[in-house]
């Protein structure tokens, strides 16, 4: 077990320990928000057949030569085609087919005239314009050609993709797996919302924050429990949650106090511990390990520390699996227009708000204080400022590095 | 009924016809992605009591005067406090309380020393540093003060908000209503995915595209049906879907063909028709009206026309109700770096892809052709270029106006 580890090394270590995940076949109807695990090529043409793009008459263009409002050409109507019909009758010279939008163009016809440019009765149509072959004619494959690449592996599926894949008749798609995560919030001080608060207690906010954040990064929360700081109870909860979970995220019980029992209980249960403590503030206390096939992230119960390590460690791990790389943190430069008057012996992640301007990124601290136990700053946080270990206070105007959070959070 | 209406006038007309929607009280646990309908002020302090931010000893700072590693001060341990405990014993001069992170600081103590700067046994603690009053002391309300504004009306609720609201013990929140929408895709040519395609048929892609797009703009799809182009069947489906739906979106059957029956059937059912036809291309054929309290959007069955009118007409209506204004289209300028060689007698919405550069927005046409029946362009479309009626062909380098789609689609 490593005692104190750099963030980047921690991410790599966890990535190395991941089990292999299998891609999933899901119904197209449930695939929105998932990421394609393979290239999808068109199994057929779209449209599948030559069809009319409008309501009118399918004709042979040569039969309309010289036709105009003053000199209409009369053609015999030999069939009528609605969308959904299968064409049966070929069009010969001097003939036309009444045709509606989306209906298949009958053999022999090479163009369609819009009904507004005709007069017609049941038997005959007067054509009042000269057509070119191919005019108002949507050939099979005009939209999508059989065999063409429709959606690449790695595509995040949204409404347009579902529409296009449905047009190909595809009922199912192969997508990257959705990590299944359980959540255990620990602490004898925790009380559920909606009850009157007892002395010495606080409401359990971490469960709400972490469960929602997990969903926001495309994970599936399969179970969520609360436990007081007692070894037997923690062990029971862990034993219940670990089997069947790809990941377990816990909060609380990972520092140096007498009731910080997560590390001890996990060790007793035979977990392999990857590391305890990250070299960042807030969020130094993190226990990370594995029991059977389940990766366990034991985060601090302090909300700001919890969210910081979630975003910097847990999320990068999860999106490697589900492919939601657009949701990853982006490292950028920014100009700091605030003051931070502490020096940093340890690498520090400050909660902050960054705005893009014409002159580049401008960043200031989140409203509220930067203590790890504080929640309010998370409301006003779209990035972390990464202050290297050994830095003096940060003055206004300094260039800093930030990790920008995905927009989904704000 | 208006025959042909400008897009902006159509949006206003529909907005004027909306019934009043009631805000909804939802469980906090289900509130993610919803928009607050009222300001939320803190009903209590957070933390609710003075607490220790670390593991150590609660002391009276004055008792530690002059203490250092060389000259430690010895204090008597009179109590032990874990997170979740209710403090009972006051600290007097020369006394200390063993205290863990999150535990309430007992009366009499005004500071906390980190355990790493002490030595201790069951009875006594040696303090090796001089403390200032208030040091390592998280006073009640340090994070959030009772009565302060936590989240404004109009806030889109995400993980940080759920965390903060949970910390206040709030079990429910008042949010803007979620419009309940039914979908009816019509057309005798439609076949469901997963079956072999019959001659003259196409797969029903509009249902997938529209249902997903509705969810992407925060609506709830409560029912979805398909109908062939027959009056009796259309009437039955409409009669089934309209009661209980705030909105009904139909596709197909709204042009001038013999099987374009939606307008006729709605009129026979006694619907008030607001307008038929928009002055834009693609998407001219749109029937919009109301039956009882249900607003009906009858969109074209041509996929590109369907999506264009959905985004420009349906979505702006829905997000007025659910408050997801961040999801609205934004009108911006861009430089066109492509060619469009048709003149436009009607106002035209070209599917296109815009990129932000240091020199401003650069836009080019979506891959694929711009016909209304085409689906593929929707894959590569993050904006519409708004070409005014009466425009000549658009040359490369021209400044154009675009409607930028929200990022969620791409």
**CB nearest to A375's CB, from B167, B200, B206:** B167
Which residues does A189 contact at the CB level (< 8 Å), separation at least 6?
Answer: A200, A201, A202, B83, B84, B102, B103
Q: Which of A83, A314, A324 to mutate to test the interface with B (most CBs of B within 10 A)?
A: A83
Nearest to A182 by CA among A231, A244, A227, A270: A244
Residue A57: HSE in the Cβ half-sphere, 13 Å Cα cutoff: 34
B57 near B97, Cβ under 8 Å?
yes
Contact criterion met (CB < 8 Å) for A209 and B160: yes
In chain B the domains, ranked by start, together with CATH numbers, are 7-22+177-327 (3.40.980.10), 25-45+145-175 (3.90.105.10), 56-127 (2.170.190.11), 330-409 (2.40.340.10)
Looking at chain A from residue 164 to 183, which residues have their Cβ under 8 Å from any Cβ of chain B?
164-172
Q: Which of A32, A86, A89, A169 to mutate to test the interface with B (most CBs of B within 10 A)?
A: A169
Distances (CA, A) of B162 to A174, A185, A216, A367, B47: 33, 15, 12, 17, 16
Number of H helices, E strands in chain A: 7, 23
pLDDT score for B2: 67
What is the H or E stretch that residue A168 is in?
A: none
- Angle among Cα B169, B170, B174 to the nearest 5 degrees reads 170
The low-confidence residues of chain A, meaning pLDDT below 70, are 1-2, 327, 408-410
Size of interface A-B (CB pairs under 8 A): 307
In sequence order, the β-bridge partners of residue A2 are: A275
Q: What does B320-340 look like in DSSP terms, one character per residue?
A: HHH--GGGS-EEEEEEE-S-B
Report the gap between the CA of A78 and the closest CA in chain B (Å).
Answer: 17
Contact criterion met (CB < 8 Å) for B303 and A163: yes
Contact criterion met (CB < 8 Å) for A158 and B257: no
Beta strands (DSSP E) in B100-230 are: 111-114, 118-120, 124-127, 149-151, 172-175, 180-186, 190-191, 202-203, 220-227
pLDDT score for B89: 84
Tell how strand B180-186 and strand B172-175 pair up: unpaired
Nearest to A399 by CA among A367, A366, A362, A369: A362
B144 lies within 8 A of chain A by CB: yes
Contact criterion met (CB < 8 Å) for B209 and A170: no
Query: What number is the ipTM of this complex?
Result: 0.94
Phi first, then psi: give them for residue B408, nearest 5 degrees: -55, -30
A340 near A365, Cβ under 8 Å?
yes
Distance CA A391, CA B4 (A): 66
Distance CA B388, CA A312 (A): 48
Report the gap between the CA of A205 and the closest CA in chain B (Å).
Answer: 5
pLDDT score for A146: 98
**Tens of each residue's pLDDT in chain B, 410 residues:** 667 899 999 999 999 999 999 999 999 999 999 999 999 999 999 999 999 999 999 999 999 999 999 999 999 999 999 999 997 789 999 999 999 999 999 999 999 999 999 999 999 999 999 999 999 999 999 999 999 999 999 999 999 999 999 999 999 999 999 999 999 999 999 999 999 999 999 999 999 999 999 999 999 999 999 999 999 999 999 999 999 999 999 999 999 888 999 999 999 999 999 999 999 999 999 999 999 999 999 999 999 999 999 999 999 999 999 999 876 788 999 999 999 999 999 999 999 999 999 889 999 999 999 999 999 999 999 999 999 999 999 999 999 999 999 876 55
| A143 chain-B contacts, CB cut-off 8 A | 368-369, 371, 373-376
Please, what is the end-to-end C-alpha distance for chain A in angstroms?
36
Looking at chain B from residue 47 to 106, which residues have their Cβ under 8 Å from any Cβ of chain A?
47-49, 51, 53-55, 82-87, 100-104
Nearest to A269 by CA among A246, A295, A235: A235
Q: What does B195-263 look like in DSSP terms, one character per residue?
A: SPPPTT-EE--HHHHHHHHHHHTT-EEEEEEEE-S-HHHHHHHHHHHSTT-SEEEEES--SSSTT--HH
Q: If 0-12 CB within 10 Å is exposed, 13-18 middle and 19+ buried, where does residue A108 land? A: middle
Q: Which of B77, B172, B376 to mutate to test the interface with A (most CBs of A within 10 A)?
A: B376
A194 lies within 8 A of chain B by CB: yes
A224 near A248, Cβ under 8 Å?
no
A122 lies within 8 A of chain B by CB: no
B76 near B63, Cβ under 8 Å?
no
pLDDT score for A379: 94
A107 lies within 8 A of chain B by CB: no
Phi first, then psi: give them for residue A110, nearest 5 degrees: -130, 5
Long-range pairs for A290-293: beta carbons < 8 A, 24 or more residues apart: A290/A17, A291/A238, A291/A242, A291/A266, A292/A242, A292/A243, A293/A19, A293/A246
Contact criterion met (CB < 8 Å) for B86 and A170: no
Distance CA A397, CA A388 (A): 17
Joined tokens for residue B8: 């902006």
B381 lies within 8 A of chain A by CB: yes
B123 lies within 8 A of chain A by CB: no
pLDDT score for B228: 97
Nearest to B387 by CA among B333, B338, B339, B346: B346
A163 lies within 8 A of chain B by CB: yes
pLDDT score for A1: 64
Q: What does B335-396 look like in DSSP terms, one character per residue?
A: EE-S-B---BSS-EEEEEEEEEETTEEEEEEPSS---TT--GGGGG-SEEEEEPTTB-PBPT
């Amino acid at each position: 077990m490593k005692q104190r580890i750099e963030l980047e090394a921690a991410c790599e270590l966890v990535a190395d320990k991941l089990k292999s995940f299998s891609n999933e076949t899901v119904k197209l109807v449930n695939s929105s928000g998932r990421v394609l695990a393979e290239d999808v090529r068109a199994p057929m043409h779209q449209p599948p057949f030559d069809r009319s793009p409008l309501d009118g008459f399918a004709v042979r263009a040569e039969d309309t030569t010289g036709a105009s409002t003053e000199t209409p050409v009369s053609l015999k109507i030999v069939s009528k085609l609605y969308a959904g019909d299968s064409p049966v009758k070929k069009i010969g010279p001097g003939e036309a087919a009444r045709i509606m939008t989306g209906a298949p163009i009958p053999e022999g016809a090479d163009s369609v005239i819009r009904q507004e440019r005709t007069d017609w009765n049941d038997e005959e149509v007067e054509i009042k314009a000269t057509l070119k072959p191919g005019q108002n004619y949507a050939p099979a494959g005009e939209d999508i050609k059989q065999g063409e690449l429709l959606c690449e592996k790695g595509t995040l599926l949204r409404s347009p993709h579902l529409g296009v894949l449905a047009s190909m008749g595809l009922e199912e798609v192969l997508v990257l797996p959705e990590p299944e995560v359980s959540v255990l919030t620990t602490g004898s001080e925790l009380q559920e919302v909606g009850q009157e608060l007892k002395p010495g207690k606080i409401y359990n906010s971490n469960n709400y924050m972490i469960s929602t954040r997990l969903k926001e990064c495309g994970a599936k929360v399969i179970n969520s429990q609360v436990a007081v700081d007692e070894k037997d109870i923690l062990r029971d909860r862990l034993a219940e949650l670990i089997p069947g979970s790809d990941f377990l995220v816990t909060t609380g019980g990972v520092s140096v106090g007498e009731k910080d029992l997560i590390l001890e209980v996990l060790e007793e249960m035979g977990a392999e511990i990857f590391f305890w403590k990250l070299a960042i503030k807030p969020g130094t206390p993190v226990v990370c390990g594995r029991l059977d096939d389940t990766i366990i992230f034991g985060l601090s119960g302090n909300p700001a520390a919890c969210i910081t390590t979630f975003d910097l460690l847990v999320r990068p791990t999860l999106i490697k699996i589900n492919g939601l790389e657009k949701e990853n943190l982006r490292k950028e430069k920014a100009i700091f227009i605030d003051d931070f008057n502490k020096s940093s012996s340890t690498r520090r992640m400050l909660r902050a708000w960054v705005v893009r301007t014409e002159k580049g990124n401008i960043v200031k601290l989140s409203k509220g204080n930067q203590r790890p136990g504080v929640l309010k700053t998370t409301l006003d946080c779209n990035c972390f400022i990464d202050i290297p270990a050994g830095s003096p206070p940060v003055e206004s105007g300094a260039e800093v590095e930030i990790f920008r959070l995905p927009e989904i959070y704000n």
